[in-house]
Amino acid sequence: MDGYVVVFACLVIPGGAAGDRFGRKGVLLAGLLTVAAGAALSFLAPTVAVLLVGRALTGAGAALVLPNCVSVLIHATPAASRGRALAIWASMTGIGGVIGNVGGGALLNSGSWRALFLAVVLVALACALSAAVVVPRGGRHDRGLDPAGTALFVALLVGIIEGPERGWTSPAALGAFALSVVLAAAWLVVELRVRHPMLDCSAPAVTGPSPLAARALPSPDSPPNSAR
């Protein structure tokens, strides 16, 4: 459903920034518990509206999990083994998608659609328990968050993602794209002015990963400013 996709797309970069600010392990655990809570709400949903809220909550949790999962992996792995570790993670992500689709189809054929969400609850709680025991505590950065830039970024993505739903040439779609241009300009101005931007748009050149990837997946070589 769109609720999951839109919320996930809008919050995945702020989710990485939150991990830098508040600690990657804590934000990872919060994300896993949020996924479990959203899936539980969807499992118990008496109406479609409640189901959509549960899906949006699950998307918010996933946006906290993805960037911090990779960041924890990078920081916990020796430099010589990071490439192999990331390759294994990427492979498991693909395999997990296949298992999820096949397993989800089997659950639908053998029972209620609610069983899908119950399975997500159990998996998320198991992952949270495992992460609480295995994942080492990392450091925090004193880098602040960028609420204004985040809000504009969310509005920009919502306009881009939801605009075409009503047709590429409809007034709603054209208005959404026009608003996206205005929001993009406003977002750029905010990012250039705030002390701690969500994305540093002032860098004259970038080598290696793009600024978007670098913000979502923090650099493994950046030392924390204070211990957690």
Local confidence pLDDT in tens for the 228 residues of the chain: 468 888 898 888 888 888 888 888 999 999 999 999 999 999 999 999 999 999 999 999 999 999 898 888 888 888 888 888 889 988 988 898 888 888 888 888 877 888 889 999 999 999 999 999 988 887 666 666 667 666 767 766 766 666 666 666 667 667 766 777 787 787 778 777 766 666 666 655 444 444 444 444 454 444 444 433
Which has the closest alpha carbon to 61: 23, 24, 34, 28?
A: 34
Q: What residues contact residue 155 under an 8 Å CB cut-off, 6+ apart?
A: 179, 183
Question: Which of 121, 140, 159 finishes a domain?
Answer: 140
Do residue 29 and residue 129 come from a single domain? yes
Question: Which of 112, 140, 168 finishes a domain?
Answer: 140
Do residue 105 and residue 161 come from a single domain? no
Do residue 29 and residue 79 come from a single domain? yes
> Quick one: pLDDT at residue 40?
96
Query: Per the domain annotation, does 226 fall within a domain?
Result: no
Query: Per the domain annotation, does 155 fall within a domain?
Result: yes
| Overall number of domains in the chain | 2
Do residue 93 and residue 133 come from a single domain? yes
What's the mean per-residue pLDDT of the chain? 78
Do residue 112 and residue 214 come from a single domain? no
Which has the closest alpha carbon to 120: 14, 33, 3?
A: 33
CA dist 207 and 118 (Å) reads 44
CA dist 32 and 44 (Å) reads 18
Q: Domain residues for 125?
A: 2-140
Do residue 8 and residue 23 come from a single domain? yes
Do residue 158 and residue 86 come from a single domain? no
41-46: long-range contacts at Cβ-Cβ below 8 A with a sequence spacing of 24 or more?
Answer: 42/114, 42/117, 43/114, 43/117, 43/118, 43/121
Do residue 95 and residue 171 come from a single domain? no
Do residue 75 and residue 91 come from a single domain? yes
CA dist 53 and 71 (Å) reads 28
Do residue 17 and residue 125 come from a single domain? yes
Other beta carbons within 10 Å of 6: 18
Question: Which of 108, 140, 172 finishes a domain?
Answer: 140
Do residue 102 and residue 208 come from a single domain? no
> Quick one: pLDDT at residue 219?
46
Q: How would you label 155-167 residue by residue, b for 16+ Cβ within 10 Å and e otherwise?
A: bbbbbbbebeeee
Do residue 95 and residue 135 come from a single domain? yes
Q: What residues contact residue 114 under an 8 Å CB cut-off, 6+ apart?
A: 42, 43
Tokens describing residue 217:
């997946």
Query: Per the domain annotation, does 227 fall within a domain?
Result: no
